[in-house]
C-alpha cells in the first residue's frame, strides 16, 4: 500500500515538474506572420492551401497550418490569397537604368548612390522582382555594384553582377557594358581579375572569337565561376559553346538566329525586307521576319529544332526576352522603352506589315512553347529599361501562348535561381531560404492578368513600401 502511494506521489511530482519545464521553456516569437494563405510550391507546381508563413529576420522560419499556434510581432492577414517567391530577372543592364552608355555617370560612388538604388527598386522591386542579374555593365561601376551584391538590403533587389560582357578586340569602340580582350591570355587575366573582385558570374558576348572564348571558359571553370553566353550571328555557334561546358544562354531568339545560315540566306532575307518594309531598317522587325523564314524553310526549321533538342540533352537554360518583340507588334501591356526611347526601332507600320509581324511573333511564341514542352528550361530575362513591368508582360505573353500558370511562376522564380546558383537561398518558399515573397491581391491561377494587380512585396522579411 505504501509503495502504491509512493508511486502516486512520484507521478504527481513528475507531472508538476513537466508542467513547470514546459511553462518555463522559451516560446519563439517570430518577426512576421503571413496568415491563411495559399503557398505556391515552385518545385512541384502545386498550390498548398490553408497555410501560415512565419518569418524571422530575413528568412522563412517555417510554413505551418493556418490553425497552428504561434507568436509574432507583426501579422499580415492573407485571407486565402496566393503567395509566390519573389521574381528573379536573370538579365538586366544598369546602363538602361542610369542613362544610356554615352550619358551615364562615370562612377556610381557619389552622394547619389541612394538615388541609383532607389531607381533600381522603383524599376523592379515594386513589381515583385526581388533579384536581378546584371549581364554586362561599365567596369567603372564594378566596385560599387559588388558592394551592393555583398550587402543585400530590404528596400532594394538582390543584385548579382558579371562585370563587363567579354568581347574580342574590334575596330569599333566597344559599348559601355562590354570589355575587350586582345588574346586568350588577356581573356584569362580578365576572368581572374573579376574573380578576385568578388564576381561570381561572367558574361560571354557573341563578339568573342573562339580562341578567347575557350580561354575565358576554361579559366572560369577552373575558378568555379558561373558562365552565361549571348551567342549569336554564327560567329561561334551555340553547339560549339555548349561543347565547352557552357549551359546558360541569353535570349530565346538566338536559337533561331543560330539556325539561320547568314551566308546562304542573308540576301534572301534582305530582299524580303526591301519588298515589305521599304525604308525601314529596324532591328526587331528584321529578327521577327528571320524567325518566320526559319519556320517556313524546312532545312532551317529542322536545324532549329535539332538545336533545341541538343540544348535539352545538355541541360541548358535560356532566358526569355520576349517583351521587346511584343512591343513591336503591339501585343504588350504597356509601352516599352523601344517606343519611348528608340523610335527608330519601333517604326510606324502599316496594316499589312503589322499583320506579317504578328504572324512571325505567333511563330516565335509557338516555338518557345514547343521547346518548353519538350523540356528546355526557360528563365525570365527581360533585358529592358523597365524590367519589372517587362517581367510581368513576359509572363502574360507566356500565358497567352498556352503556358500553365504553375510553369510561368516557376520560370519567373526557381528556374532563375537555379541558373544563378542561388537556389539554396532563393527561388522557392522553403524554411531557411530568404523571405523574398509576393502576396497577390488576386489569384493569377484564376486570371493571368491578376499578375498586373496590386501585390504586397516582402523583401528580406520586410514589407516593401
Tell me the three state secondary structure of residue 50.
strand
Q: Are 177 and 101 spatial neighbours (Cβ–Cβ below 8 Å)?
A: yes
C-alpha dihedral, 286 to 289 to 294 to 296, nearest 10°: -160
Alpha helix stretches (DSSP H) within 314-404: 323-328, 337-341, 351-374, 387-400
Q: Are 43 and 445 spatial neighbours (Cβ–Cβ below 8 Å)?
A: no
What pLDDT, on a 0 to 100 scale, did the predictor assign at position 21? 43
What lies within 8 Å, CB to CB, of 231 at 6+ separation is 204, 206, 237, 238, 241, 249, 250, 254, 258
Helices (H) and strands (E) in the chain, counts: 17, 20
Domain with CATH 3.20.20.140 in the chain: 86-433
- Model confidence pLDDT, tens digit, residues 326-369: 998 999 988 776 766 566 677 888 999 999 999 999 999 999 99
Q: What is the DSSP letter of 376?
A: P
What lies within 8 Å, CB to CB, of 127 at 6+ separation is 87, 388, 389, 391, 392
Tell me the three state secondary structure of residue 424.
coil
Q: Are 364 and 322 spatial neighbours (Cβ–Cβ below 8 Å)?
A: yes
What number of CA atoms fall less than 13 Å from residue 231's CA on the CB side?
25
- Dist CA 260 CA 90 (whole Å): 26
Q: Are 204 and 232 spatial neighbours (Cβ–Cβ below 8 Å)?
A: no
Give the CATH superfamily of 26-85+434-465.
Urease, subunit C, domain 1 (2.30.40.10)
Neighbours of 323 (CB within 10 A): 28
What pLDDT, on a 0 to 100 scale, did the predictor assign at position 10? 47
- Model confidence pLDDT, tens digit, residues 295-338: 999 999 999 999 999 999 999 999 999 999 999 899 998 877 67
C-alpha dihedral, 13 to 14 to 16 to 22, nearest 10°: 160
What pLDDT, on a 0 to 100 scale, did the predictor assign at position 22? 44
Tracing cell 565561376 back to the chain, one arrives at 225
CATH match for 86-433 among 3.20.20.140, 3.40.50.720, 2.60.40.10, 2.60.40.420: 3.20.20.140
What pLDDT, on a 0 to 100 scale, did the predictor assign at position 101? 58
Query: Backbone dihedral region of 104: left (phi > 0), alpha (psi from -120 to 50 degrees) or beta?
Result: beta
Domain with CATH 2.30.40.10 in the chain: 26-85+434-465
Instruction: Give Cα 370 to chain centroid, integer Å.
Output: 20
- Orientation of helix 262-276 relative to helix 283-296, angle to 10°: 120
Look up the pTM and report it.
0.93
Write the DSSP string, 98-145.
S--TTTS-S-S-STTHHHHHHHHHHHTGGGTEEEEEE----GGGHHHH
Walk along the chain (465 residues) and give the pLDDT tens digit of each residue. 545 555 455 455 455 444 444 444 457 899 999 999 999 999 999 999 999 999 999 999 999 999 999 999 999 999 999 999 999 999 999 988 887 656 678 788 777 889 999 999 999 999 999 999 999 999 889 999 999 999 999 999 999 999 999 999 988 888 888 999 999 999 999 999 999 999 999 999 999 999 999 999 999 999 999 999 999 887 899 999 999 999 999 999 999 999 997 778 889 999 999 999 998 888 889 999 999 999 999 999 999 999 999 999 999 999 999 999 999 899 998 877 676 656 667 788 899 999 999 999 999 999 999 999 999 999 999 999 899 999 999 999 999 999 999 999 999 999 999 999 999 999 999 999 999 999 999 999 999 999 999 999 999 999 998
Nearest to 410 by CA among 332, 326, 317: 317
Burial (CB < 10 A; 0-12, 13-18, 19+), residue 427, is buried
Amino acid at each position: 500500500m505504501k509503495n502504491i502511494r509512493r508511486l502516486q506521489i512520484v507521478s504527481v511530482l513528475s507531472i508538476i515538474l513537466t508542467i513547470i519545464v514546459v511553462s518555463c521553456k522559451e516560446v519563439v516569437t517570430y518577426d512576421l506572420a503571413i496568415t491563411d494563405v495559399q503557398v505556391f510550391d515552385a518545385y512541384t507546381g502545386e498550390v498548398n492551401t490553408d497555410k501560415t508563413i512565419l518569418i524571422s529576420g530575413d528568412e522563412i522560419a517555417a510554413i505551418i497550418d493556418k490553425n497552428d499556434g504561434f507568436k509574432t510581432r507583426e501579422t499580415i492577414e492573407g485571407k486565402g490569397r496566393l503567395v509566390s517567391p519573389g521574381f528573379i530577372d536573370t538579365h538586366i543592364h544598369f546602363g538602361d537604368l542610369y542613362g544610356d552608355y554615352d550619358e551615364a555617370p562615370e562612377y556610381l560612388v557619389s552622394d547619389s548612390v541612394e538615388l541609383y538604388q532607389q531607381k533600381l527598386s522603383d524599376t523592379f522591386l515594386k513589381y515583385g522582382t526581388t533579384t536581378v542579374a546584371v549581364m554586362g555593365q561599365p567596369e567603372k561601376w564594378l566596385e560599387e555594384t559588388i558592394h551592393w551584391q555583398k550587402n543585400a538590403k530590404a528596400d532594394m533587389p538582390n543584385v548579382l553582377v558579371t562585370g563587363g560582357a567579354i568581347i574580342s578586340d574590334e575596330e569599333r569602340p566597344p559599348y559601355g557594358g562590354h570589355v575587350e580582350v586582345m588574346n586568350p591570355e588577356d581573356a584569362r587575366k580578365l576572368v581572374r581579375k573579376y574573380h578576385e573582385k568578388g564576381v561570381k558570374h561572367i558574361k560571354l558576348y557573341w563578339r568573342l572569337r573562339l580562341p578567347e572564348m575557350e580561354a575565358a571558359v576554361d579559366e572560369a571553370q577552373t575558378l568555379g565561376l558561373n558562365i552565361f553566353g549571348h551567342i549569336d550571328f554564327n560567329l561561334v555557334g551555340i553547339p560549339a559553346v555548349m561543347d565547352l561546358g557552357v549551359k546558360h544562354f541569353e535570349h530565346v531568339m538566338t536559337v533561331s538566329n543560330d539556325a539561320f545560315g547568314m551566308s546562304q540566306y542573308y540576301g534572301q532575307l534582305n530582299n524580303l525586307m526591301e519588298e515589305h518594309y521599304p525604308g525601314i531598317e529596324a532591328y526587331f522587325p528584321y529578327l521577327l521576319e528571320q524567325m518566320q523564314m526559319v519556320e517556313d524553310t524546312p532545312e532551317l526549321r529542322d536545324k532549329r529544332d535539332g538545336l533545341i533538342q541538343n540544348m535539352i540533352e545538355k541541360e541548358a537554360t535560356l532566358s526569355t526576352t520576349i517583351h521587346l518583340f511584343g512591343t513591336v507588334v503591339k501585343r504588350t501591356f504597356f509601352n516599352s522603352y523601344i517606343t519611348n526611347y528608340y523610335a527608330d526601332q519601333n517604326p510606324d507600320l502599316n496594316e499589312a506589315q503589322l499583320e506579317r509581324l504578328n504572324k512571325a511573333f505567333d511563330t516565335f511564341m509557338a516555338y518557345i512553347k514547343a521547346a518548353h514542352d519538350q523540356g528546355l528550361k526557360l528563365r525570365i530575362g527581360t533585358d529592358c529599361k523597365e524590367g519589372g513591368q517587362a517581367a510581368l508582360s513576359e509572363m502574360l505573353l507566356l500565358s497567352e501562348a498556352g503556358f500553365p500558370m504553375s510553369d510561368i511562376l516557376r520560370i519567373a522564380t526557381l528556374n532563375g535561381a537555379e541558373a544563378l546558383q542561388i537556389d539554396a537561398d532563393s527561388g522557392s518558399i522553403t524554411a531557411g531560404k530568404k523571405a523574398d515573397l509576393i502576396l497577390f491581391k488576386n489569384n493569377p491561377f484564376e486570371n493571368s492578368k491578376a499578375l498586373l494587380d496590386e501585390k504586397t512585396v516582402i523583401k528580406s522579411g520586410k514589407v516593401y513600401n
